Amino acid sequence: MAYFHFLLYLFLLILTVSATDQQRQTTFIVRVQNDAKPSIFPTHKHWYDSTLAALSDRSLPSSRIIHTYDTVFHGFSAKLSAVEASKLESAFGVLSVIPEQVRHLHTTRSPEFLGLKTSDSAGLLKESDFGSDLVIGVLDTGIWPERESFNDRGLGPVPVKWKGSCVASGGFPATSCNRKLIGAKYFSAGYESTNGKMNETVEHRSPRDSDGHGTHTASIAAGRYVFPASTLGYARGVAAGMAPKARLAAYKVCWSAGCFDSDILAAFDSAVNDGVDVISLSVGGVVVPYYLDAIAIGAFGASDHGVFVSASAGNGGPGGLTVTNIAPWVTTVGAGAIDRDFPADVKLGNGKLIPGVSVYGGPALAHHRLYPLIYAGNEGGDGYSASLCLEGSLDPNSVRGKIVLCDRGINSRAQKGEVVKKAGGMGMILANGVFDGEGLVADCHVLPATSVGASSGDEIRRYITSASKSKSPPKATIIFKGTRINVRPAPVVASFSARGPNPESPEILKPDLIAPGLNILAAWPDKVGPSGLASDNRKTEFNILSGTSMACPHVSGLAALLKAAHPGWSPAAIKSALITTAYTLDNRGETMIDESTGNSSTVMDFGAGHVHPQKAMDPGLVYDISSYDYIDFLCNSNYTTKNIQVITRKHADCSRAKKAGHTGNLNFPSMTAVFQLYGKRKMSTHFIRTVTNVGEAKSVYTVGIKPPRGMNVTVEPMKLAFRREGQKLNFLVRVKVVAMKLSAGSSITKSGSIEWSDGKHVVRSPLVVTMQEPL
């Protein structure tokens, strides 16, 4: 009997929990048909409110609408229970109900490294007048408008097309904007609907940046020339963005709890309506189908309006399948290192020098003396927490006056240093884990500290263990060597940079390319210390950060320069120019290395390669793509017509798409084939491409084929003769492969290229073939 009562209790508990879940409200984004509003409603919002009111008998607030959208997306966002969301899906005029996702931030010498110099009278900066009439919209954590990087000296009037505004709010008067920062808005309704009213003692209810990330990315894209610039004495020189005269518009969508889809979509809507030419987005989340992805949907609407969208690839590397923001209409940017670093080496008691990096700017440790060295994980207590130097895990009696070796993971790199400092440590050595590999990121630590690779961490631990058993206890010091330039090899693929293959559309190579994203100097707010820690009261006008977040705005700024130089180019043409002119060799003339392993990197790491702005200015040929081409791609990806309408706002005729053959026939600048073996011995596929002449009117291009090893590739025709600028010609690529013996569930990827050349231009498209043996 007791057992029966127990089962009854469990059943009632499940019912109660289930009922609670059904009543719990979360944010959903609702796509409605463009022309579905009944005439009895004066506005769409009245219709949305009425529709929501009909869903429930409960007492409701006058409006649960969070945002309404009408430019890149048609619909609204609202708080709904699971039951209400289910009912709403079948309501009149509703196409889709999308659960909100919370995104997170993917967190100078680079203009010179990229070949952008003010003295270059015939280069990209000159041709585009530095992008002075172009507007870059940065969707991020806001902006610190007083920074010198955002001054408007020498700039002309605000472009007449501009319809945006400067939203004044506490501590951010309308005068914060100028002829450089021409727009600033914030979007917090989605954030607050989930998290409650923001704490205005730590966050600004305005476009003002309380994090630093948005100020940094905005100045990378379009910061003015500022001299002198440095962070705590490191990277001294001139700071400048990619498009120093381009106008900026800041759209604050990221808050302490993250970046909420409903706010991001509202910012996309506003930015396109305001008249931006480029949208830069350094945030990301989990990969979902495009019709459930607010960023993919917003980016499609922007692209459809002629706006170029670049987004960070994510910092989930070096593992495969980690790339995010993978829609083909988005330019997805991974991170590389430039030819500058900040060496801070560890000198051990046995005389060994271990290479490391740091941008610590305080009193240094004495070079002539060594300090006691311990590994935090060996010092009693909770060894795991202590090894990671988590808050409260270190015993001051064991740490005081010593250099502490901490492992990466869980808490931030700068927080580990703060924990060691609080416990009385003299310094910190931060060791990568196996997954981090040998990739190093320099940080503005609050005590003398440096970062070392995984193998170096192992070597230091071995030294500590052996020295602890000898008569010479373990000792070390850290030698800070400042800034080093002209480093070889460079560029390299940053260890953290997210990698392919594309988890949603394997036939579309992602990331598209890489750009500088490791240890990048850019503007920083007044009230945020360079380490980002609340306890860090240091002030600096510039800071050095790493991430694909930093790589993305490099491409955003370059896209603005290209658009200024070629006003008639579409977003796809700009992307094509960047991809087909990217390079894969470093400054030693060898394939770029993968920072995490020290081995050669691959197309899954760098996409088409590292961005080359000067060549992108004059690519010769471009692969253009229309919105209807993307619809054909979605049809061939087996999306339903309803799903396609959710993404594109267009009614899809998928019978037309079948003529395109397959997803690989999207007119993309790279070509990727995926073969499922299933015991087959020989397989083949084809790619149809159309190129547009944007070079000399009369030009003849000859194809050069570098097939993936062991595969047969042919191109028809082998010559393309253009008679005029703007002319389009087609070609066909056939790929034949012989199956390799693979174990179940495994795959192999090989790459080559197709290159068209007229003697002046080389138009290079990666050709990637993957063979998979299904389970």
Task: Give the model confidence (pLDDT) of 220-238 as tens digits.
Answer: 999 999 988 888 878 888 8
| Tokens found for residue 186 | 């914030």
Tell me which amino acid residue 278 is: V
Q: Is 140 a catalytic residue?
A: yes
Flag whether pLDDT at 465 surpasses 90.
Answer: yes
Q: Which whole-number Å values give the CA distances from 634 to 378, 639, 642, in the listed order?
A: 55, 6, 11
Mean pLDDT check: name the lowest of 296-305, 331-340, 529-538, 699-708: 529-538
Mean pLDDT value of segment 754-760:
97
Q: CA-to-CA distance for 760 and 256, rounded, in angstroms?
A: 50
Considering the candidates 106, 213, 610, 761, report the single residue annotated as catalytic.
Answer: 213
- Angstrom distances, CA of residue 369 to CA of 402, 462, 465, 645: 12, 21, 21, 69
Q: CA-to-CA distance for 560 and 138, rounded, in angstroms?
A: 12
For residues 294 and 405, what is the distance between their CA atoms, to the nearest angstrom?
42
Residue 49 annotated to the active site: no
- Helix orientation angle between 548-565 and 571-580, rounded to the nearest 10 degrees: 110
Catalytic member of 310, 549, 576, 670 = 549
pLDDT at 10: 38
Kindly tell me the burial class for residue 319, based on how many C-beta atoms sit within 10 Å of its own C-beta (0-12, 13-18, 19 or more): exposed
Q: Is the pLDDT of residue 659 over 90?
A: no
Query: Which whole number is the average pLDDT over 435-449?
Result: 91
Task: Please give the average per-residue pLDDT across 516-522, as a whole number.
Answer: 94
pLDDT of residue 4: 45
pLDDT tens readout for residues 377-395: 887 667 889 999 999 999 9
Residue with tokens 């990827």: 749
Count the neighbouring beta carbons within 10 Å of the beta carbon of residue 3.
7
- Confidence (pLDDT) at 677: 87
- pLDDT on residue 5: 43
How does strand 226-231 pair with strand 308-312? Answer: unpaired
Q: Which amino acid does the sequence have at 734?
A: R
The reported pLDDT for the residue numbered 3 is 43
pLDDT of residue 15 exceeding 80: no
Please give the residue that has the higher pLDDT: either 10 or 413. 413
Q: pLDDT band at residue 123, thresholds of 50, 70 and 90?
A: low
The order of strands in the sheet holding 513-518 is 181-186, 247-252, 135-140, 278-281, 308-312, 331-337, 513-518
Exposure of 112 by Cβ count < 10 A (0-12 exposed, 13-18 middle, 19+ buried)? Answer: middle
**pLDDT higher than threshold 70 for residue 7:** no
Position 22 confidence tier, pLDDT thresholds 50, 70, 90: very low
Known catalytic residue at 765: no
How far apart are the C-alpha atoms of 278 and 284, rounded to whole Å?
Answer: 18
Could you give the percent of the chain with pLDDT greater than 90?
A: 78
Distances (CA, A) of 691 to 94, 395, 622, 694: 39, 65, 5, 9
Strands 699-706 and 719-722: antiparallel
Per residue, what are the HEC states of 484-546? EECCCCCCCECCCCCCCCCCCCCCCCCCCEEEEEECEEEECCCCCCCCCCCCCCCCCCEEEEC
The reported pLDDT for the residue numbered 416 is 95
Condensed to tens digits (0 to 9), the pLDDT of residues 262-297 reads: 999 999 999 999 999 999 999 999 999 999 999 999
Among the options 140, 209, 586, 758, which is catalytic? 140
The chain-wide mean pLDDT, for the chain, equals: 91
| Residue 129 pLDDT level (bands cut at 50, 70, 90) | low
List the one residue out of 487, 490, 543 whose CA is nearest residue 516: 490
Question: Residue 677 half-sphere exposure, CB side, CA atoms within 13 Å?
Answer: 21
> For 695-742, how does the pLDDT look when each residue is reduced to its tens digit (9 = 90+)?
999 999 999 999 999 999 999 999 999 999 999 999 999 999 998 888
